Structures are given as C-alpha cells and as structure tokens.
C-alpha cells in the first residue's frame, strides 16, 4: 500500500483511532493490507473481518506478533497494537481501497482494466497481466481474488509506481459488480461471456447478463468497453457503452470482431490460430490447452491494444505461458498417462468446453477418461444441466466417465441412459473410492480430464493422480 499516516486512514474510514505503544497520529504505515493474519509482515494493516465460521478479531494478536502496525476492527481488542474502530470492517476495506486508487490515479500514470464474465475471468486476467508486465509495474489478483474482500485487497497493493491495475470482478448477486467496479471506475471494461455459472444466485441468465453489464456502466465515460461479439448478451452491452460515450472494441471469431481469431487447430500441445487486427494477421501458438482459451487471449490482446500494446508484442508474450493458472487445464502426469486438472471451477459452459478439448486432443490409439463432479450454484437448472453434460460426454464418445459425489449422480444416470453401459460410466460416492478405482483402471495412452466446481474439491484428486503418474 502507499504510505499513509494513521490519522489519514482514520479520516478516510471515519473511524475512531486508538493509539498503542509509541505510535502517534502521524505514524506512517505502508505494508500489506489483508484479512488473513498469516499474510502480515512488518508495517502491515490487518482488517478484522467477522465471518460465518470464525471472527478476525480473534487473530488481531497473531497479526500484531507477525509485525502488523495497525488493526481495523469493529470493536476494540485487548492487544497492544494501534486500532481504528469502524462499524463495518469490510466496508472500511473498500473505502480504503477507493482512496488509495484515487491517490495513485491522481499521479496520471495508472490505467485500470476491469474483467468480468461467467467463465474465463482468471485466465484472461493472467493473460493480460503477463502482457502488461513487460510495459510497467502491474498489479493483478492472486488466484481468483474477485469478491468484496479479494478485489479491494488487490487494489491496496498499488504503489505510486504502478502503471496498470488489472481487476477481476466476480458477482454473488445483482449490484455486487457495480459496487466493486465503482471503487476504481476502470478505463477498460472487459466482458467475456454470459453463461449459467452462479445463475442460481441471480434468478436466471437474463439477470446474470444484467449483473455483468454493471461493469460497463461503472467504467469511465471516456473509457473503452471490450466486448465478446460472439455472445449476443455481451454484444448487446454496446448500447450501455454508446449511451455513455464510450469506445467499443469487439473480440471473437465472427467477422464483426475488431480482434478476431480464425483457423483454430487444437492439439495436445495447445491451440494454434490466426489473429486478425485491423486487417493484419498474426499467428498465435497458445500452449494453454483448449480452444475456449483463444477467446480469453483475444480479450487480453484487445484490452492491451487499447492501452497501446502492439498485437505482435501481446501475442509473443502470451506464447510464453504454459498454463493459465493452477487447476485450470493444468497438464500433469507423464507421456503415458496425461492428466488435465481443470477442477478449480465448473459451469455448464466450461464443463462442455473441457470435454470437447479432451476429445480433440486424444489420438486414435489413446483413450478418453473424464472424472467429473458436480457443478455448483445452478439453482433450479442444476438437474437439467447435469443431464446435458452427461449426454454430451457420451455423444463425444468419452470412453470412461467417472462420476464422483452424490450431487453429480444425475450426470451419471444421464450418461447411462444415453448408452454408456458396460462399465463405460461408473459412479463413486467420494474421491478416495474414485482414486482407488483409477489407480487400477488407468493405463498407457489414457488422457484424463478432472473437472468439477471448486466446492467439490476434485482438484485434489487431480493432484493425486498427477503425482501417481509423474
């Protein structure tokens, strides 16, 4: 964080400053700001966030021992550390982030990109951060820090030398993207797609589209909207951008895109394509597995172009990446048994894309194996969507369908009903049982996809299989 005095922070938060030790109102802090006491170091600021399972106030002492200089609390704690008492610690975190971003932006160098979409946010964030890192100091979220805590924590990593902030915005309901993006007012708003991920929390796909459009509405009026023209619901957000006087840059595979991909070829070593920008063509050899990641690359190239990065430079930097993020189409195992661990998250769209990738990268003498768990947060559409994935797996001729966990049983039943008999589809109640089966079932030439929502935890099963066949 940029250097601020305790008095300045208290004024920003409208809180009561309680000094400890030799501190004064003029004492300056400039360390990490976080809600996790394990991330504290000398000069850090600990935000004591109450939670459903634990209360951050219990860890103020641990934060102080680790070197924290200030605690933001909702009630005083009997620990020798300066404290600012506020009504709402999470709201205070957002207020502090807004102030820090405003001060850094006042220097005139900082450009901010906001990214949202039902799928692909973290991959696109990592792609864009890789491109921009060669241009200047770039701050981007760790993992999927995209909620009411993670987004402000990322913003608070800014320094006066930061040139680019790449913010990823998730949503837990209507209005959440508006609140988070409103902290920074992005120069560039990137919307990837509208799908059924988390649709249960929004009330349907149209409500999801409206929530994603909040990013365009929260961007600077002088800014740019980077929109997926292949997705009609995203393309329709042009109306919001136009009404605010924003520039619009479209990406996708249709001829309407300003940044376009065509001639896609998918293989086990990645995806090749031709990227077309302003009539110029550039080959892209993306080592990250899956044709669906080409659209994420297009979004990153388009956003970087708005910021002045030439397409050839952006593409060259993307080609250095082996994976987008741990547990996202992550290759594990060996040449005999290859594991693709893509179980950080799952939605109907990403599940279908991963299954198609598995089918595309498996040779005629090799065998496809899909280890699948439940897709979470789909609300009333959950049964139908699990049915659809079970049918798709069979129609793609996935040769072994291993379904794990009671929440995914309907996927298994659908696969059986579609004709996946004679042990082609099997079901296990838990990961240990599935692992025991796979240790004896997998053989040379198998290409194995592990896919589920994060809450199911199949990523750990994917790691175990990766270690087994390393």
Instruction: Give the model confidence (pLDDT) of 306-359 as tens digits.
Output: 999 999 999 999 999 988 888 889 999 998 999 999 998 899 999 999 999 999
CA 258 vs. chain centroid, Å, equals: 24
**If DSSP codes are grouped into helix, strand and coil, which group holds residue 347?**
coil
Q: Are β-strands 70-73 and 16-18 bridged in parallel, bridged antiparallel, or unpaired?
A: unpaired
Structural domains in the chain, sorted by start: 4-87 (3.40.1390.10), 107-318 (3.40.1190.10), 330-468 (3.90.190.20)
Tell me the pairing of strands 259-267 and 270-277. antiparallel
pLDDT at 179 exceeding the cut of 80: yes
CB-CB contact of 167 with 154 (8 Å): yes
The whole-angstrom separation of Cα 450 and Cα 330 is: 10
Q: Quickly count: other Cβ atoms within 10 Å of residue 317's Cβ.
A: 21
> Closest Cα to residue 463, out of 448, 445, 442, 446?
448
Q: What is the mean pLDDT of residues 208-227?
A: 96
pLDDT (tens digit per residue) in 260-293: 999 999 998 899 999 999 999 999 999 999 999 9
Confirm if 273 and 294 have CB atoms less than 8 A apart: yes
pLDDT tens, residue by residue, 427-470: 999 999 999 999 999 999 999 999 999 999 999 999 999 999 98
**What is d(CA 250, CA 241) in angstroms, rounded to the nearest whole number?**
12
What is the model's pLDDT at position 198? 56
Residue 222: C-alpha distances to residues 167, 182, 187, 217, 310 (Å) = 18, 15, 7, 12, 21
Alpha carbons 313 and 131: distance in angstroms, whole number: 8
Reported as a single tens digit per residue, the pLDDT across 109-123 is 999 999 999 999 999
Look-up of token digits 């593409």: 315
Q: Which pLDDT belongs to residue 451?
A: 97
This prediction's pTM: 0.91
Question: Cα dihedral angle (373, 375, 380, 385), rounded to 10 degrees?
Answer: -80
Contact 253, 261 (CB under 8 A): yes
Reported residue count of the chain is 470
């Amino acid at each position: 964080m940029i250097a601020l005095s305790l008095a300045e922070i208290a004024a920003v938060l409208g809180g009561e400053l309680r000094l400890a030790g030799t501190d004064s109102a003029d004492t300056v802090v400039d360390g990490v700001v976080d809600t996790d006491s394990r991330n504290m170091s000398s000069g850090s600021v600990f935000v004591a966030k109450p939670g459903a399972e634990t209360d951050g106030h219990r860890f103020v002492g641990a934060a102080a021992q680790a070197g924290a200089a200030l605690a933001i609390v909702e009630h005083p704690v009997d620990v020798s550390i300066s404290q600012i008492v506020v009504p709402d610690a999470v709201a205070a975190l957002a207020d502090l982030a807004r102030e820090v971003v405003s001060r850094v932006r006042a220097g005139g160098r900082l450009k901010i990109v906001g990214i949202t979409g039902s799928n692909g946010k973290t991959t696109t964030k990592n792609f864009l951060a890789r491109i921009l890192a060669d241009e200047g100091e770039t701050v981007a979220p760790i993992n999927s820090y995209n909620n009411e805590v993670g987004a402000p924590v990322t913003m608070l990593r800014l320094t006066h030398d930061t040139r680019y902030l790449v913010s990823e915005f998730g949503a837990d309901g209507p209005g959440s993207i508006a609140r988070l993006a409103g902290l920074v007012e992005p120069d560039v708003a990137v919307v990837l797609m509208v799908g059924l991920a988390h649709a249960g929390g929004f009330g349907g796909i149209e409500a999801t589209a409206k929530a994603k459009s909040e990013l365009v509405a929260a961007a600077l009026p002088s800014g740019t909207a980077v929109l997926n023209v292949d997705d009609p619901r995203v393309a329709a957000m042009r109306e919001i951008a136009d009404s605010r006087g924003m520039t619009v840059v479209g990406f996708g595979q249709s001829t309407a895109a300003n940044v376009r991909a065509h001639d896609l070829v998918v293989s086990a070593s990645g995806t090749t394509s031709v990227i077309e920008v302003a009539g110029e063509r550039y080959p892209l050899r993306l080592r990250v597995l899956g044709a669906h990641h080409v659209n994420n690359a297009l979004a990153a190239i388009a956003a970087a172009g708005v910021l002045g990065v030439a397409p050839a430079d952006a593409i060259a930097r993307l080609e250095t990446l082996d994976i987008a993020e741990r547990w996202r189409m992550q290759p594990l195992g060996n040449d005999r048994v290859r594991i693709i661990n893509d179980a950080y998250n799952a939605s109907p769209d990403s599940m279908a894309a991963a299954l198609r990738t598995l089918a595309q990268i498996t040779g005629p003498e090799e065998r496809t194996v899909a280890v699948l768990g439940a897709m979470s947060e789909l609300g009333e559409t959950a049964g139908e969507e699990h049915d659809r994935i079970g049918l798709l797996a069979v129609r793609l001729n996935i040769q072994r369908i291993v379904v794990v966990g009671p929440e995914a049983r309907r996927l298994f039943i659908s696969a059986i009903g579609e004709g996946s008999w004679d042990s082609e589809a099997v079901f296990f109640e838990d990961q240990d049982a599935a692992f025991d089966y796979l240790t004896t079932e997998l053989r040379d030439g198998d290409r194995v996809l592990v896919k589920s929502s994060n809450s199911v935890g199949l990523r750990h099963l994917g790691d175990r299989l990766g270690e087994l066949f390393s």
